[in-house]
């Protein structure tokens, strides 16, 4: 009997999270409505609030499914490691998660401490592979000891997000190589 109830609970939770994520990708955080999640998922609001005590808690759970964080590559050079990471990020950036959801999280984080904590956690998780390859490169002598890792990460990801959200230009090979060249020069202090 408990196993049947557990399966029903899991199905209900999955339906709620699926609908919440669908709304997130269509309209961002501000477009998510518990009433609409309940209506479309077929799960009562009472049940939703039993599992997620607030709209923010539901959003945080749904946002935890935003994308895969790749493991830090270890090719032996900063240039090749950055190329691998940038290529992965460029593949993800066109998705609805990066086009709609993440910008809406950044916006909502300005007003909601729970969402701010979510945004900080997502940022840390998504940037961790970049920091790892920079520190590994520092250990190999490819990065100046005094160069902050955050500066190098900004040189790499800043232009990517600028192109995705503002200029809407393509991520061509020339652009990607230019970013990596700039990061390697910055790492070496040139």
* pLDDT, position 140: 96
Q: Total structural domains in the chain? A: 2
What are the average pLDDT values for consecutive 10-residue runs of the chain, which has 190 residues? Answer: 71 94 90 95 96 91 79 96 95 83 90 90 92 97 95 96 92 96 91
* pLDDT, position 118: 86
Do 85 and 50 lie in one domain? The reply is: no
Q: Residues 6 or more apart from 74 whose CB is under 8 A from it?
A: 81, 133, 136
* pLDDT, position 97: 78
Reported as type and span, the H/E element at residue 83 is helix 78-92
* Residue 45 domain boundaries: 7-64
The predicted model scores a pTM of 0.82
* pLDDT, position 99: 80
CA 172 to the chain's CA centroid: 22
CATH code, domain carrying 55: 1.10.10.60
Query: Considering the domain boundaries, does residue 53 fall inside one?
Result: yes
Number of Cβ atoms within 10 Å of the Cβ of 102: 26
* pLDDT, position 98: 79
Do 41 and 83 lie in one domain? The reply is: no
Do 59 and 82 lie in one domain? The reply is: no
Of 64, 87, 103, the position where a domain reaches its end is 64
């Amino acid at each position: 009997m408990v196993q049947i109830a557990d399966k029903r609970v899991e199905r209900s939770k999955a339906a709620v999270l699926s609908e919440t994520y669908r709304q997130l990708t269509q309209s961002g955080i501000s477009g998510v409505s518990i009433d609409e999640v309940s209506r479309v998922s077929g799960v009562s609001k009472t049940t939703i609030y039993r599992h997620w005590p607030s709209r923010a808690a539901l959003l945080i759970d749904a946002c935890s499914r935003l994308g895969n964080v790749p493991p830090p590559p270890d090719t032996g050079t900063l240039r090749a490691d950055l190329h691998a990471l940038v290529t992965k990020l460029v593949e993800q950036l066109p998705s609805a998660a990066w086009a709609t959801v993440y910008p809406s999280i950044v916006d909502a984080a300005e007003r909601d401490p729970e969402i701010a904590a979510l945004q900080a956690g997502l940022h840390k998780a998504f940037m961790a592979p970049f920091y790892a390859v920079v520190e590994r490169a520092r250990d190999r002598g490819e990065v100046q000891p005094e160069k902050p890792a955050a500066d190098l990460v900004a040189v790499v990801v800043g232009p990517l997000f600028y192109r995705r959200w503002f200029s809407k230009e393509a991520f061509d090979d020339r652009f990607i190589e230019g970013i990596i060249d700039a990061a390697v020069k910055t790492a070496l202090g040139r």
